[in-house]
Structures are given as C-alpha cells and as structure tokens.
Amino acid sequence: MVKGHIHSLETFGTVDGPGIRFVLFMQGCLLKCQYCHNPDTWALDGGKEMSLEEVLAEIEPYLTYYRSSGGGLTVSGGEPTLQAHFVADVFKEVKRRWGLHTTLDSNGFNEPDRIHELLDNTDLVLLDLKHIDDEKHIKLTGKSNERTLNTARWLSEHGRKMWIRHVYVPGIHDQEQDLLDLGRFIGTLNGVEKFEILPYHQMGIYKWEALGKVYPLDGVPSPTEEEVERAYRLIEQGRAETAGITCSSNESRNF
C-alpha cells in the first residue's frame, strides 16, 4: 500500500479553500521559490510516512466543523502532485466515507494528463502562479512556468474550478507589463472563481537560517496596501482586455 510523505497538518485552516478545512501539507517540491516560507518541505525524501488510514484518523474527529462550515480537506505542500497517487486515494476515500469537499493547492508543475485520477477527485484547485514572465519565473523559482500555464489551460478546458493565487514581492512583481500580462492570461481561462494576491512576508526567514541557507530576499519589505491595490487594478485591466469583464475592488476578486 502506498504511503504518503507528510510534512505537517492543520486541523482548522481558514484560508486554503471554502469554510473550515483540514489542511494536509505534503513533503517535496521541485520549485525553489526565493520567498518560500517552508523550505523544509523541499526534500523529496523528508517528512513523516503516513498511511491512508492514519491520515483519515486525523481528519475524522473534526468532521462536524468541516461539514457545518461548508469546508473540507485541502492538500497542500510542498507540492502535492508529486505524490498524486496517494493524494488521489485520500481524496477518493474522504468523498466515499464522508462526502467531503476536496481542494488541491498546487503550483501546477506537473503534467495534468499524468495526474488525471487526482484531478478527477478534486473539487477545487488553488493554482499558484508565481510569475507570468518565464525568465523571471526561472529566476524566482528555478523552473520554467510552462507547466503551470499548461495546467491552468487544462483545468480551463476540462471545466474545472480554480482559484488563482499570486504572491506579490516588491521589486519582482511590480512591473506594469507583467501585471497586465498576468491579467490577460487569466482572462483567457474558464472556471476561475477567485483571484487573490498574497502579499509577501518574511515569516519563513528563520527556517532558511535553521537549514543553513542564505535567504535570497533579505531586506525586501512586504508590499504596501497601495502597491497591492495597484497590482489588482492592472491585473483586472489586463483581464478585461481578454475576458471583457471588469471586477469590483476587493482584497480578493471573485470572478
């Protein structure tokens, strides 16, 4: 029986999908984001091995909260699609036993056709678009954004629901052209229920230091409210060009 490599878990998550959620953080990630606040999730062979039944036993005591709030299970990381078979088994079983809503929090760095069993059992994808410009994406994460954009297109073409999230780092994500292009890309997609900017923060620096790694964004501040609002405005402007829709002004945009 396949076991999962688990980094950690959270029983009362409120930001990773609708309602109150059990959040399972998987171990392993192929992207090396400069702003990552959990670089300890990168190693593919780390974490705690858990069986399907062990994971379900952690979820079961809190089912009342998840059901009553319209919540469910979110699997995050690391990058959960690297353990797609295990996560698919978990999603299938929480649906079969308890009818729970399932959310996958992913950077999209995979091939959708190879993980279709997982995606077939996923109700919502939280897709993290790190940067719309490929060269800047490579500098920021060490990898091209091609797979992520292909994943977004696949989800759109196959009628899947997604929330798109974008971490905003001053000096990296503030170019007007990039923000317009990001909006233009989102405007070509179907099924995007929400777009959200996640302001960069420095809370993970101590983990880099504990791992003996040099933190690449040392001294970079969090964005101001004005910077975030400008980014939303430009992204919405770009999206309106391709989708013909203008969104209202809120912290997160429901499309």
DSSP 3-state assignment of 76? Answer: strand
The predicted-structure confidence for 116-151, as pLDDT tens digits, reads as follows 999 999 999 999 999 999 999 999 999 999 999 999
Buried b (16+ CB within 10 A) or exposed e, 103-136: bbbbbbbbebeebeebbebbbbbbbbbbbbbeeb
Q: Average pLDDT for residues 40-61, to the nearest whole number?
A: 96
The predicted-structure confidence for 33-45, as pLDDT tens digits, reads as follows 999 999 999 999 8
Q: Longest C-alpha distance within the chain, in Å?
A: 51
pLDDT value of residue 245: 55
Assign 252 a pLDDT band (cuts: 50, 70, 90).
Answer: low
Handedness of CA 107, 113, 74, 188 (dihedral sign): positive
For the cut 90, the answer to whether the pLDDT of residue 1 exceeds it is no
Q: Are 16 and 76 in contact (CB under 8 A)?
A: yes
DSSP 3-state assignment of 175? Answer: coil
In whole angstroms, give the CA distance from residue 253 to residue 196: 6
In whole angstroms, give the CA distance from residue 209 to residue 215: 7
Q: Name the residue among 179, 162, 189, 187 with its Cα closest to residue 229.
A: 179
In whole angstroms, give the CA distance from residue 228 to residue 233: 9
For the cut 90, the answer to whether the pLDDT of residue 248 exceeds it is no
pLDDT value of residue 250: 46
Q: Structure tokens of 188?
A: 């070509």
Q: Structure tokens of 40?
A: 């300890």
For the cut 80, the answer to whether the pLDDT of residue 207 exceeds it is yes
For the cut 80, the answer to whether the pLDDT of residue 251 exceeds it is no
Q: Average pLDDT for residues 177-197, to the nearest whole number?
A: 98
pLDDT value of residue 249: 43
In whole angstroms, give the CA distance from residue 216 to residue 214: 6
The predicted-structure confidence for 220-239, as pLDDT tens digits, reads as follows 999 999 999 999 999 999 99
Q: Average pLDDT for residues 82-92, to the nearest whole number?
A: 98
What global pTM score does this model have? 0.94
